[in-house]
Amino acid sequence: MNGDTGAYLIRRVLLVIPLLIGLSILMFGMLHAAPGDPVLAMLGPQAAARPEVLEQARANFGLDKPLPVQYLNWLWDTARGDLGRSYSFNNQPVLDLITNRMWGTIQLQGISLFLALSLAIPIGIFSATRQYTLPDHLVTVGSFIGLALPNFWLALLLQVWVGVQLGWLPVLSSNQARAEFPERLQYFILPVIVLALPSIAYFARFMRSAMLEVINQDYVTVARAKGLGPRPVLYRHALRNALIPMVTVIGLQLPQILSGAVIIEQIFAWPGLGDLAYQAIGRRDYPVILGVTLFAGAAVMIVSVLVDLIYVLIDPRVKLTGSAGG
Amino acid sequence: MAQPDTTLARDAIGPRDPGDIGNAGSLARAAPNRRFQVMRRLAQNRLAMVGLVVIVLLYLVAIFAPWIAGSDPNQLTPGLRNTPPSAENWLGTDRNTRDLWARVIVGTRISLAVGLAAVVIVMTIGITLGALAGYFGGIVDQLVMRTTDILLAVPQILLLITAAALFQPSLQTTIIVIGVTSWSGTARLVRGQFLSLKNQEYVTAARSIGSPSLRIMFRHLFPNTLAVIIVQTTLWLSAAILLEASLSYLGLGVQPPDPSWGNVLQDGQRDLISGAWWLTLFPGLAIFITVLSFNLVGDGLRDAFDPRARKR
């Protein structure tokens, strides 16, 4: 890692904070520009008849102050690690809600990602080494299909077919927290399949083209010419280099993966961040919406810096310079 | 997985052959030959051609929807509650005794129209901001790029459902929220193109004879980004249709009684457990086929524009 690269990475890390502030301003603006009253949503329509109750509630949550003051108050609290209290969800601190729900999402997505990569990388290699044969064409067609399947549709069909008709697996996951280790796994199977399928398709296709590009490089030809067998060429020379761009792609997929979580957690009643966000939006629970969005944004930005760092560490050719993130 | 894979799309905008740029090879004017070659290469791609035929058929269905549907999608027929597909009701009926065929066909019109309108917004914002950022650089570039950083860091569905829920879900809201949250990738690609082209000799030449910026951007730079824009448009049509379906499925998109594939599916899935599989299967199949076709064509176009990527 040379000086330029180090400076670049430091700039990237420092950029995360203004970007998160930008994101919070965007969300804050959007939440408050929207018609509708969170206090009314909180107290129910009958409270509309009693303006003094509404005023009181507004003052309690600081909603009576001018918008910039509200924002700065929120920012000051957030900077000290206090994301405020939820309007609904028993007025729990937002940070507690997020940390409670976080593990559900991390477990589900982690398993899905691991499964997707452990299938997609071999499939991609298999496909690339048999370019333009029938199996390769099947992989291509299969990955197009995997990417076009609406995830909610697949989830519903699997729930009814595997869950209800065959009765093999639970349909909803609301009870999973109470289940013990081996039984608990069965709650994972359907959501993991639904989440992993498009990722398998995407990563396999990317792995295939990364592999094909590397196979055509001179150093692979040289390795072959000096009499190295096909397997060592493939695994020692080609695969290592083909895996490098995969790191970037996995990082870039994170927002997509989190997007999938919102809908899929909702369908399977999975206790995670996506489900929390969906419910918070329905209840106009501003602090929770802001908290979850910021949390997701921070996760994505940090992962993208880490991806850059890993990239530098595994690929000595890479030098990162220029304007950060540009 | 709604976002089109812009990572792979980058293949299409890698630096072209120097000769290509040197003769100011604008796709639109100077190179009828090249345009022909692109079309010929696309025609040789069987999967892409299948996709193209399906897309043409889908738009024909959308245009002639009222005739193809055969009846009003909201017409009630007492006694035909949740009946399976039959000779009279090809795709069956729903819990409100409406004909599913009519709803899916008219839904084609609504879903494709929402997709198209959203993509017009995506491309307008994406191309304009990308071009400005790439051409002028400096503070404009910083502003645009940092905004894309922010938009790309948040899961898009989260932004969509927040915006849609807060600003009354409707057909118009759906179009607007998809449009204003989806332009980042396109803006970055267009910016990259402008950035790499603006210091080419022919652009410097144009500037030296006093061509105004706007003219340079429109006449000299924009035509060279068309390949990227065409591919992006195709891939975003697929993505926007999928996003609309997801939003409508969550009840935050196109509102009933207007049928869109997403809300027909949402309405029908309540009866899935009691055995009315057709109400979930068919609208989902329509989404799947449409998204698949657009992806096939988008991918084929990318390969046709950049044959060097094809051999990989």
pLDDT at A48: 72
* In the block, residue with structure tokens 């332009």: B183
CB-based contact B2 A256, cutoff 8 Å: yes
Size of interface A-B (CB pairs under 8 A): 160
**Average pLDDT of the segment spanning A122-133:** 91
- For the four alpha carbons of A324, B3, B8 and B9, in that order, the dihedral sign comes to negative
From A62-76, A111-125, A204-218, B28-42, the region with the lowest mean pLDDT: B28-42
Q: Looking at per-residue confidence, does A60 or A208 come out higher?
A: A208
Which chain B residues in 271-310 lie under 8 Å from chain A, judged by CB atoms?
272-273, 277, 280-281, 284, 287-288, 291-292, 295-296, 299
pLDDT at A76: 92
Contacts of A14 in chain B (CB under 8 A): none
Q: What letter does residue B258 receive in the DSSP assignment?
A: S
Over chain A, what is the mean pLDDT?
A: 86
Q: At what angle do helices A273-282 and A286-314 cross, to 10 degrees?
A: 150
Q: Chain A contact for B146, CB < 8 A? A: yes
Report the gap between the CA of B293 and the closest CA in chain A (Å): 9
d(CA B307, CA B39) in angstroms, rounded, equals: 12
Q: Mutate which of A152, A158, A208 to test chain B, going by most B C-beta atoms within 10 A? A: A152
pLDDT at B11: 37
CB-based contact A278 B246, cutoff 8 Å: no
pLDDT in tens, A269-320: 998 999 999 999 988 888 999 999 999 999 999 988 888 888 888 877 777 6
**Average pLDDT of the segment spanning A14-43:** 86
Give Cα B275 to chain centroid, integer Å. 34
Q: Which residues pair with B99 in a beta bridge?
A: B93
Q: Which of B156, B157, B265 sits opposite A153 (nearest CB)?
A: B265
pLDDT at B216: 87
CB-based contact A261 B155, cutoff 8 Å: yes
With 0-12 CB in 10 A as exposed, 13-18 as middle and 19+ as buried, what is B52? Answer: buried
For residue B201, what are the CA distances in angstroms to A143, A257, B133, B207, B209? 42, 43, 20, 10, 12
Contacts of A263 in chain B (CB under 8 A): 157, 246, 249-250
Whether A43 has a pLDDT exceeding 80, the answer reads no
pLDDT in tens, A220-241: 888 888 888 778 788 878 888 8
Contacts of A138 in chain B (CB under 8 A): none
pLDDT at B31: 57
**Average pLDDT of the segment spanning A117-143:** 93
Residue B66: which residues within 8 A CB-CB, separation 6 or more?
Answer: B106
Superfamily grouping for domain A95-314: MetI-like (1.10.3720.10)
Residue ranges per domain, chain A? 3-79, 95-314
Q: Residue A135: how many CB atoms within 10 A of its CB? A: 12
What torsion, rounded to 10 degrees, do the Cα atoms A278, A281, A287, A292 define? 30
Helix (H, G, I), strand (E, B) or coil at A93: strand
Report the gap between the CA of B148 and the closest CA in chain A (Å): 10
Helix (H, G, I), strand (E, B) or coil at B159: helix
- For the four alpha carbons of A307, A312, A316 and A317, in that order, the dihedral sign comes to positive
Residue B188: which residues within 8 A CB-CB, separation 6 or more?
Answer: B6, B130, B145, B148
Whether A67 has a pLDDT exceeding 70, the answer reads yes
- Map out the domains of chain B with their CATH numbers: 27-311 (1.10.3720.10)
d(CA B306, CA B296) in angstroms, rounded, equals: 16
CB-based contact A206 B154, cutoff 8 Å: no
pLDDT at B12: 37
pLDDT at A231: 80
pLDDT at A280: 92
pLDDT in tens, A161-202: 888 888 888 878 776 666 777 777 788 889 999 999 999 999
pLDDT at B308: 63
Global confidence as pTM: 0.88
**Average pLDDT of the segment spanning A253-261:** 84
- Neighbour-count burial for A234-267, b at 16+ CB within 10 Å, e otherwise: beebbbebbbbbbbbbbbbbbbbbbbbbbbbbbb
* In the block, residue with structure tokens 């690690």: A81
Long-range contacts of B60-69 (CB under 8 A, 24+ apart): B61/B105, B61/B108, B61/B109, B62/B108, B62/B109, B62/B112, B62/B113, B63/B109, B65/B105, B65/B106, B65/B108, B65/B109, B66/B106, B68/B105, B69/B99, B69/B101, B69/B102, B69/B105, B69/B106
Q: Chain A contact for B5, CB < 8 A? A: yes
Q: What letter does residue A239 receive in the DSSP assignment?
A: I
Contact B10/A248 with Cβ under 8 angstroms? Answer: no
Helix (H, G, I), strand (E, B) or coil at B251: coil
pLDDT at B4: 52
Report the gap between the CA of A210 and the closest CA in chain B (Å): 8
Long-range contacts of A10-15 (CB under 8 A, 24+ apart): A11/A324, A12/A304, A12/A305, A12/A308, A12/A324, A12/A325, A13/A305, A15/A324, A15/A325, A15/B149
Contacts of B155 in chain A (CB under 8 A): 255-256, 258-259, 261-262, 296, 300
For residue B270, what are the CA distances in angstroms to A190, B95, B275, B280, B286? 19, 9, 10, 9, 19
Check whether the bond before B257 is cis (ω within 30° of 0): yes
CB-based contact A326 B147, cutoff 8 Å: no
* In the block, residue with structure tokens 């989806």: B182
pLDDT-flagged residues of chain B (< 50): 1-3, 5-26, 28-30, 310-312
pLDDT at A177: 66
Nearest to B243 by CA among B174, B304, B191: B174
Report the gap between the CA of A296 and the closest CA in chain B (Å): 6
Q: How many helices (H) and strands (E) are present in chain B, helices listed first?
A: 16, 0
Q: Looking at per-residue confidence, does B193 or A58 come out higher?
A: B193
For residue A173, what are the CA distances in angstroms to A154, A270, A272, B120, B272? 17, 5, 11, 40, 18
